[in-house]
Homo-oligomer: A and B are copies of this chain.
Amino acid sequence: MARFATLTFFKMKNFIVASTSTVFGGNYLDYLTEEMAELFKNTNEVIFIPYARPGGISHDEYTTKAAKAFEKIGKKLIGLHTFSNPVEAIKNAKGVFTGGGNTFVLVDALYRLELMQPLREAIFNGLPYMGTSAGSNICGTSMQTTNDMPIVYPPSFKTLGVIPFNLNPHYLDPNPESTHMGETRETRIAEFHTQNTVPVVGLREGSWLRVKGDEIKLKGKLEARVFEQGKAPYEVATGTIMNF
Q: Contact residues of A with B, CB < 8 Å? A: 20, 22-25, 53-56, 101-102, 104-105, 143-153, 156-157, 169-170, 172, 179-183, 187-196, 205
Set B102, B149, B169, B182: member contacting A170, Cβ < 8 A: B182
Set B25, B152, B179: member contacting A24, Cβ < 8 A: B179
CB contacts (< 8 Å) of A105 on chain B: these are 191, 195
Complex Cα spacing A146 to B192, Å: 15
Tell me if B149 and A188 are in contact (CB < 8 A): yes
5 A–B contacts, CB within 8 A, in A order: A25-B179, A56-B193, A144-B149, A151-B191, A170-B182
CB contacts (< 8 Å) of A143 on chain B: these are 150
Tell me the minimal C-beta distance from A55 to chain B in angstroms.
Answer: 6
With A22-B181, A53-B191, A144-B153 known, 12 other A-B pairs at CB within 8 A are: A20-B181, A24-B181, A25-B179, A55-B194, A105-B195, A144-B152, A145-B149, A145-B151, A147-B182, A148-B183, A150-B157, A151-B192
CB contacts (< 8 Å) of A156 on chain B: these are 153
Given A170-B181, A182-B170, A205-B180, A151 and B195 touching (CB < 8 A)? yes
Given A180-B170, A181-B170, A205-B180, A192 and B24 touching (CB < 8 A)? no
CB contacts (< 8 Å) of A192 on chain B: these are 149, 151
Chain B: which residue is nearest A147 at the CB level? B182
Chain B: which residue is nearest A23 at the CB level? B181
